[in-house]
Amino acid sequence: MKSLSRWAKRLTSFTAVLLLATAAQTNFASFDAPARAYLGEKPGRARNGTPEQMIVAAIDDIRAGKMGDARATVDALLDKQPNYRLAHLLSADLYAMRAVPLDKIGGAASAPADRLEDLRREALVRSKREAAPPPLDQLPAPLLVMSPKQKNVILVDAGASRIYIYANNNGVPRYVTDFYATIGKLGMGKQVEGDQRTPLGVYFVTSHMPRAQMDKTMGAQAALYGVGAWPMSYPNEWDKRLGRTGHGIWLHGVPYDTYSRAPWASNGCVALTNPEMLAVADYLQIGTTPVVIVPKIEWLNQDAWRARNQEAQQTLDGWRSAWENRDTRNYLAEYSRAFVSEDGQSFDKWAVQKASVNAGKLWAKVKLGDISIFATGGDKPMWVTTFEQDYSSNNLNNRMRKRLYWQRDDAQWKIVWEGAAGAG
């Protein structure tokens, strides 16, 4: 009776917690066959590990018919994380299975369908990560060149609701860890204010808003961000060039009354559990750390990654060399016909002006330092190159932090935007 009372208490607790869950996109996680538990089963053995490893282990045990182990793991997980909604759902399922078999997660729960689908989607996303972890013998294609000042890069796979941390190992990205993450309610590809989508592109962490500060400035609304927030530089230069609107895209935690949110549940930010957000924060350098958000990570073997790394660096140096040598024809060939200058000039007008300027130079020197190059992926991939530019000539000396956006034009990468780097 004591055991049944415990399960009934967990079921009631689950129902209350589930009703607080935010809506996301529909998906499901089913058991391989209808699963059923039995009252006479012996106590199982709890799995150890992170909360994610434990929740996936419990799901795997249910599918394998190891109900005692699943119950023991869920109990241990709820002792560790009492506000974990997905764990409450599995607890309720295991209790219900004593009466009827279930063919999917949440099959016996009497709760709004969208709340159940949120939790099923979380189960699916977390299970996929455990089934197919990041290939440690390969490198992520978006991280082409890391500046010596960038100790780490945050890489977000929006399609997989996953955030990766890579360290800068003498210019080569080295895997550190990865976490489950929440993105916008309506997915990725932010375009306008309020569209509840997470932007895709290269951004930088611009500041830190501790929870105590947020309590003072935001009042009760601060509770949405848990341990605090780390704002990012959306909209970046390319977003503005395309007329994208919106603001307040942050890395942040979740309310203290829940362990994690659904995979698609934010208003466009990237949200993590509070413990994991604090773990990520240890790798953030304000004003320096890039956050590269892509729809899906392309993984490359070592040789393929080095080839792309060299291609990107050589392409950038070809632009620098043509400019330094006052080779106007080849210099202008580095730019797309779709290029628009920082002050809004079309390519044709800007090209006439640049040719006139170059004709008035007797000599020029162009040095680039602190270079980073990241790729955005997707249907129209871009390179985002950022560097310290030291330009000198017979009649001008100039230093600036500069950024170039490149897109493929047939077989060549061409510059589509050029100007001062707004962040990073």
The reported pLDDT for the residue numbered 43 is 83
Phi, psi of 389 (to 5 degrees): -110, 125
Last residue of a domain, one of 96, 131, 166: 131
Is the same domain home to 294 and 312? no
CATH code of the domain containing 281: 2.40.440.10
Structural domain containing residue 176: 139-299
pTM: 0.90
Query: Using the 8-state DSSP alphabet, how is residue 100 labeled?
Result: S
Decide which of 262, 280, 299 is a domain's last residue: 299
- Per-residue pLDDT band for 35 (boundaries 50, 70, 90) equals low
Let me know whether 162 and 173 are in one domain: yes
Are 284 and 311 contained in the same domain? no
Over residues 358-362, the mean pLDDT reads: 92
Q: Which of 131, 166, 199 is the last residue of a domain?
A: 131
How many domains does the chain contain in total?
3
88 belongs to the catalytic site: no
Asked whether the predicted pLDDT for residue 15 surpasses 50, the reply is: no
Closest CA to 154 of 213, 226, 232, 92: 232
In terms of domains, do 293 and 336 share one? no
Please return the burial class of 171, using the count of CB atoms within 10 Å of its CB with bins 0-12, 13-18 and 19+: middle
Q: Which of 88, 208, 247, 252 is catalytic?
A: 252
Identify whether residues 295 and 306 lie together within a single domain.
no
Same domain, 98 and 175: no
Question: What are the CA-CA distances from residue 60 to residues 74, 108, 164 (Å)?
Answer: 12, 19, 24
Q: Which of 88, 208, 247, 269 is catalytic?
A: 269
- Measured CA to CA, the distance from residue 417 to residue 399 in angstroms comes to 19
Q: 208 an active-site residue?
A: no
Q: Identify whether residues 106 and 152 lie together within a single domain.
A: no
Co-location of 25 and 79 in the same domain:
yes
State the Cα–Cα distance between residues 285 and 281, nearest whole angstrom. Answer: 9
Q: What is the mean pLDDT of residues 275-302?
A: 98
CA distances (Å), origin 360, targets 194, 215, 343, 394, 418: 49, 57, 22, 9, 22
Q: Does 144 share its domain with 247?
A: yes
In this prediction, residues 338-360 reach a mean pLDDT of: 93
Clarify whether residues 213 and 356 are in a common domain. Answer: no
pLDDT of 34? 60
Whether the pLDDT of residue 16 is over 60: the answer is no
- Which range is least confidently modeled, 1-15, 38-52, 235-249? 1-15
Query: In this predicted structure, what is the pLDDT of residue 107?
Result: 76
Q: Name the band, by pLDDT with cuts 50, 70 and 90, for residue 7.
A: very low
Task: Based on the fold, state whether residues 218 and 116 are members of the same structural domain.
Answer: no
Q: What is the CATH number of the domain that holds 362?
A: 3.10.450.50
Q: What is the pLDDT of residues 73-119, one digit of tens each?
A: 999 999 999 999 999 999 998 888 877 777 788 876 767 888 899 99
Residue 65, Ramachandran bin (φ over 0: left; ψ between -120 and 50: alpha; else beta): left
Question: What CA–CA distance (Å, rounded) separates 228 from 245?
Answer: 24
The pairing of strands 228-231 and 209-210 is antiparallel
Token couple for 258:
């829940």
Same domain as 293, residue 160: yes
Question: Phi and psi dihedrals of 172, rounded to 5?
Answer: -105, 130
